[in-house]
Amino acid sequence: MSGSTLPSALVISLLLVSLLPGPGAAQNEPSIVTSGEVTIGDPALPITLQCNLTSSSHILTYSYWTKNGIELTATRKNASNMEYRISKPRAEDSGEYHCVYHFHSAPKANATIEVKAAPAITGHKRSENKNEGQDAMMYCKSVGYPHPEWVWRRKENGLFMLQRKTNSTNNHKDKNLRQRNTN
């Protein structure tokens, strides 16, 4: 009886080992070559983002571009070599772009290209006159990638002070400050 158990265990072991991915398994993954990170300059020259699906063992059904997770209109096609051109780039065009490839009966594949831009203030309130005890609302709107971090300061007696009691929101584009005037 012990002799018949050994061949069964050997067969099960061989079966389990055969199910493990072999050395060629990683070669079945799609390979995508990109144009790399881009920084919007001053003056802003046209930008062309490029992706090339160099190898895949699966049948490509379609591909497209996304910016910050949202599909860009009119970019869907059935092509392994993709380009996305920004003719007049602005700071608003900065963000995370993905070229996405969908396959028949296989998971999708994508690659990331970061388009960076220096922070720029696009809107702000210069000043607001209020009486003591009234709320004042100041705001700044900005663009840039990576997203700018905001810190509000108030000038007192020639020195800039960090705001202690503020009711502010930060969504990386808009920064609001509500301050009660208690002089």
Give the DSSP letter string of 113-142. EEEEEEEEEEEE-------TT-EEEEEEEE
Tell me if 148 sits within 8 A of 91, measured CB to CB.
no
Q: Is the pLDDT reported for residue 19 higher than 50?
A: no
Q: pLDDT at position 107, please?
A: 94
Each residue's pLDDT tens digit, 95-150: 999 999 999 999 999 999 999 998 888 877 777 788 888 887 777 788 888 888 87
Q: Is the pLDDT reported for residue 24 higher than 80?
A: no
CA distance 173 to 119: 10
pTM (whole model) above 0.75: no
Domains of the chain: 27-118 (2.60.40.10), 120-180 (2.60.40.10)
Tell me if 145 sits within 8 A of 116, measured CB to CB.
yes
Report residue 46's pLDDT band, with 50, 70 and 90 as the boundaries: very high
For 166, phi then psi, to 5°, come to -130, 150
